[in-house]
Amino acid sequence: MEKKLTTSLSEADLKLIEAAKQAALTAYAPYSQFHVGAAVLLSDGRIVKGSNQENKAYGSCVCAERVALLYATANYATTPPVSIAICAMQNNTYMVQPVTPCGECRQVLMEMQTRFQTPIRVVMYGTEHSLVATDASLLLPASF
């Protein structure tokens, strides 16, 4: 499969976006008011959700993507993640433009790809349009 950025969404992408939207509602974001949800599709069809969790000690905050990915691998250690959807909302409204993973999350995505030797499709949702990276390496071409 060719690595590319696209705006084309599959039925599986749409289902994963809905799970990410549900996850955003569970975010704990009293400081930023920026609620992020992520949903990870595992190779066996299971979907694992995560949301951002803030803390007054900023370095202790955890992004939604890492919550979902690390929960998935902690609980289903031999089942590769194949796709992740990410969405964000502020003031009870989903963001118009797609939200992309931070640098730490991009590195975790790359670690998962390396660990399982399987590309991870990254679906970044926005109400006007969404962006899809068919392989996480497109988001972090110079990873560790």
Contact 52, 86 (CB under 8 A): no
**Residue 65 falls in the annotated catalytic set:** yes
Catalytic choice (11, 65, 104, 111):
65
Among residues 36, 54, 49, the alpha carbon closest in space to that of 75 is found at 49
Residues 6+ apart with CB under 8 A from 119: 1, 3, 82, 113, 134, 135, 136, 137
- Catalytic machinery residues: 65
